Amino acid sequence: MPRAEGARQHGEFGEIRLDRVSRGFDGVMALQDLDLTIRRGEFIAFLGPSGCGKSTALNCVAGLLSLTGGSIWVDDRRIDELPPERRGFGMVFQNYALFPHMTVRKNIGFGLAMRGVPKAEAEARIDAAIRLVQLEAHGTKLPGQLSGGQQQRVAIARAIVVQPPLVLMDEPLSNLDARLRLEMRHEIRRIHQELGRSTVYVTHDQDEALSLADRIVVLREGRVRQIGTPEELYARPATLDVARFMGYRNVFEGELDHWQDGGQGERVAVRRHDLRVVGMPREALGSGRRAAVAIRPEDVLPGPEGEDAISGVVESVEFIGREYAATALTPTGLMLHFRSHQRLHLDEPVHLRAAPERVLVFAAEEGA
């Protein structure tokens, strides 16, 4: 067993492989053909709207749901038929699932007790875990006496104290208020960086996914739409769905005008009534001649009048901190979201531009 030599404890592994993992409920496929390899120390986020299959995927990995297809491997050991208690993963639940009748210490030590870790070692590890999540003063309290953020920390400590090869987190921040959510996000990031445990993190919040994950798996309707690093997903979403989810709020359809190779890669122009935008094609554009354009509000800026600008009048303005978020309405009835550093007035004419490399062109959705 040459690989085991460098391992610090039994939990170490090379990679966890999901092979065409599927789960159906009464004939409806909640998750279909998920292929993913999780490398050691990697932080993976499952991202998607509710009902996309991300929690199903997590529960399948945890063993709380049995698969209806596919297999899960830890290196060359198949684990998808093991019950959850024999997989040895740690899990943080959406509502924390702290045992209400046990103190914080007992909760954190539960997994150690189940593994038969000797008392002295268990106590030391519980101490370390409590220090890690900064709950030194609360060890003897019951979960009901803690705030939401503190309960969250206990849940994390309980999951990691057993030094699991893989930590699973099911929307752990969704029950917290906005400020606490941000704080706990940093906390999770810090703990991950400190311990380097492989983590699978389920969320519907793209900011969370982008800020935490090494790689993001975007799911929709039970299928993987894209797997990539945050930077890839942010700049180059593979489908219109993913683009929408990544904050491309300006999506509209038009006629494919013509191709153009400007030396910096392929460019394509899309015409809609009297306006024309140039962008980068993100997928094979069929012969249908209809295409969808997706642009982030941050990439649309007002400027001087010109032929390459889209003209419209200001519809709404909202101050969002460093700048203004505004919308403009074009004469042909298109609504565009954009950003401005200056205060704008309602009904004021604006001329909007977006850099072609920030404009993504997809095949038009069928039936849309």
Partner 1 sequence: MTIHVADHPPAAARPTLRRRMAAAGWDRTTLLVVPAALFVLLLFIYPFIYGLILSFEPMKGGAFSNYTAFFSDPYLYDTIGTTMWLALPATVLNMALAMPIAFRVRNLRWQRALTTILVIPITLGTVLVAEGLLTYLGPQGWLNRTLIELGLSSGPVRLTHNYWGVFLSLVITGFPFVFLLTLSYVTGIDPALPAAAATLGAGPSRQFRHIFLPLLVPGLAIAFCLAFVQAYSVFPSAVLLGAPAGPTRVISIAAYQAAFEQYDYSMASAIAMIMAAVQLVVVVAVLAGRRLFYRGPMGSGKG
Q: Cβ closer to partner 1: 167 or 326?
A: 167
Q: Which of 87, 153, 192, 204 binds partner 1 (CB under 8 A)?
A: 87
Task: For residue 142, state whether it binds partner 1 (rule: CB under 8 A).
Answer: yes
Task: For residue 125, state whether it binds partner 1 (rule: CB under 8 A).
Answer: no
Distance CA 325, CA 317 (A): 6
Minimal distance, residue 93 CB to partner 1, in Å:
5
Within 214-253, the residues that bind partner 1 by CB under 8 A are none
Residue type, 332: T
Distance CA 149, CA 61 (A): 26
Q: Using the rule CB under 8 A, give the single segment among 13-21, 93-101, 278-286, 323-331 that binds partner 1.
A: 93-101
Task: For residue 111, state whether it binds partner 1 (rule: CB under 8 A).
Answer: yes
Minimal distance, residue 52 CB to partner 1, in Å:
20
CA dihedral sign, ordered 333, 339, 345, 350: negative
Within 299-318, the residues that bind partner 1 by CB under 8 A are none
Q: Kindly report the three-state secondary structure assignment for every residue of 275-304.
A: EEEEEEECCCCCCCCEEEEEECHHHCEECC
Task: For residue 97, state whether it binds partner 1 (rule: CB under 8 A).
Answer: yes
Distance CA 232, CA 322 (A): 26
CA atoms within 13 A on the CB side of 200: 28
Reference 129, options 146, 95, 104, 149; nearest CA is 104
Q: Which of 21, 98, 277, 300 binds partner 1 (CB under 8 A)?
A: 98
Within 42-71, the residues that bind partner 1 by CB under 8 A are 62-64
Tokens representing residue 207 in the block: 């900011």
Q: Which of 168, 256, 277, 344 binds partner 1 (CB under 8 A)?
A: 168
Q: Cβ closer to partner 1: 114 or 346?
A: 114
Rg (CA), the chain: 25
Q: Using the rule CB under 8 A, give the single segment among 121-129, 155-163, 280-288, 292-300 that binds partner 1.
A: 155-163
Q: Cβ closer to partner 1: 101 or 186?
A: 101
Task: For residue 27, state whether it binds partner 1 (rule: CB under 8 A).
Answer: no
Q: Which of 43, 46, 89, 362 binds partner 1 (CB under 8 A)?
A: 89
Burial category of 362 from C-beta neighbours within 10 Å (exposed 0-12, middle 13-18, buried 19 and up):
buried
Q: Which of 6, 27, 83, 333 binds partner 1 (CB under 8 A)?
A: 83
Distance CA 318, CA 147 (A): 34
Q: Cβ closer to partner 1: 90 or 230?
A: 90
3-state helix, strand, coil in the chain (%, to 5): 30, 35, 35
Q: Cβ closer to partner 1: 32 or 55?
A: 55
Q: What angle do CA 153, 159, 160 make, to 5 degrees?
A: 90
Q: Cβ closer to partner 1: 100 or 333?
A: 100
Task: For residue 24, state whether it binds partner 1 (rule: CB under 8 A).
Answer: no
Q: Which of 6, 100, 321, 333 binds partner 1 (CB under 8 A)?
A: 100
What element of type H or E holds 351?
strand 349-353
- C-alpha separations of 324 from 312, 339, 342 in Å: 17, 6, 7
Q: List residues binding partner 1 (CB under 8 A).
A: 62-64, 83-91, 93-101, 110-111, 114-115, 142-144, 148, 151, 158-159, 162, 168, 175
